[in-house]
Amino acid sequence: MPSVFNDPAFWLLFLFLVPLMFGLPIAMAMGTSAAFVIWWWDLGWQSISYSFFSNVAKVPLLAIPFFILAGAIMEKSGIAKQLVNFVKECTGSMTGGLAIGTILVATFWGAISGSGPATVAVIGVILIPGMVAAGYDKAFATAAVSVSSGVAIIIPPSISFIVYASITGVSIGAMFAAGIIPGLVVSGCLCVSAYITSYRNGWKGEPRSGSFWKAFWDAKWALLSPVIILGGIYGGVFTPTEAAAVSIFYGLFVGICIYRTLTTWGNFYEMLAFSASTSAVVMILMGMGGVYAWAAQTVGLIDKTATLILSISDNQYVVLTLINIILLIAGMLIGGNSIFYIFIPLFMPIVEHFGWDPVWFGIMCTVNIAIGQVTPPVACNLFVGSSISGLSIEKLTPRVMPLVYAAVIALFLIAAFPQLSTFLPCLWGMM
């Protein structure tokens, strides 16, 4: 036992977990624990600034603040409302039509914003009252918006993919391509669950107004957004980082020249302030995560964790199941991209040991994070939905769980069939 207390790996983990349990922000917990271990064991104090800087001074990471700003611009421009009208016209009066339409809107909006909570905030204020007016249960309406918005981080462009790529060194373009089919799989499973629930309760959509082509024409600017962004990336016109900048100018063009909704300096101030604060949080997390990962590698925490997991079983399917359970539990307790910085460095030796494809592994991890966005106590998507609907988390949970089960089934399919993730990157020559 005394040898454990002399192990810097133990103290690196202990000094991270204990402050975290008392509410210290994750970035600070990682940074302070790593700094103490580096100082106490004389690992090179100067390495802290170098590790922090090297993890944020990467050109591909410019895509993060750009995509955050682009999402804010798209939200303010009014694109979401036109998209909602189009999807409602597509689903019509079919059983569960509006619920399925909600899931489809969330999936499509994910290709614009790349953020789960932002998707809930944008479409929730439109679709939750709309579903209630159409006869749907308010708790179910909130659950449908909150859970389906998690697809936003699976459908490219995704900030989570950029973070994972920066940690592992895989291609951002390959991650974007790999996320398309799994995102559709998750969305499809959610649609089936929504249909079953709606069928049991007799919930139907709204009759079509007969103006499908008008709705399509009004929504053309929203529909063109992911086509321009993703088409430009996969067509070799621009890199993912350049695509993020293009999306900003596209959103400004639509908001100023087409819909004329971005007409005041107040709008621009709000968008820039939101983007700056959100980007700063992400970048600090990335810098501190880099320092912690370097310290973990130096003191052997990564190798010891991998050895511990492999000691449980050398069967890859058992280990894969264990990793998914760990990530699902972590998603209930830790928000979003923080999971990547804590667990991905620990899991990568296992990925290499079994020869797993890192792109597929990243997609699987991201789906776990998406599920974590609606599983208490963290459940950031659910809290945003709760604030919009005025319902407590306790009232929402019974309606949320069938959709969560559907997402878990999708996770199983993605984990069991890596080809769902690797097919498009291989087809397009990205792997």
**Would you say residue 1 has pLDDT above 70?**
no
Model pLDDT for residues 133-164, shown as the tens digit of each residue: 878 899 999 999 999 988 888 988 888 898 89
Model pLDDT for residues 177-200, shown as the tens digit of each residue: 999 999 999 999 999 999 999 999
Give the domain ranges of the chain. 61-427
Model pLDDT for residues 90-99, shown as the tens digit of each residue: 877 788 888 8
**Would you say residue 383 has pLDDT above 50?**
yes
Record the tokens describing residue 171, joined without a space.
């291609």
Model pLDDT for residues 342-359, shown as the tens digit of each residue: 899 989 999 999 999 999
Q: How confident is the model at residue 336 (pLDDT cuts 50, 70, 90)?
A: low
What is the distance between the alpha carbons of residues 29 and 17, in angstroms, rounded to a whole number? 8
Give the whole-number percent of the chain exceeding pLDDT 90.
29
Q: How confident is the model at residue 378 (pLDDT cuts 50, 70, 90)?
A: low
Q: What is the pLDDT of residue 114?
A: 65
Cβ neighbors of 260 (< 8 A, separation 6 or more) are: none
pTM of the model: 0.84
Q: How confident is the model at residue 210 (pLDDT cuts 50, 70, 90)?
A: low
Q: What is the pLDDT of residue 349?
A: 94
Cβ neighbors of 353 (< 8 A, separation 6 or more) are: 306, 310
What is the distance between the alpha carbons of residues 167 and 398, in angstroms, rounded to a whole number? 36
Q: What is the pLDDT of residue 11?
A: 92
Looking at residue 398, what DSSP letter applies?
H
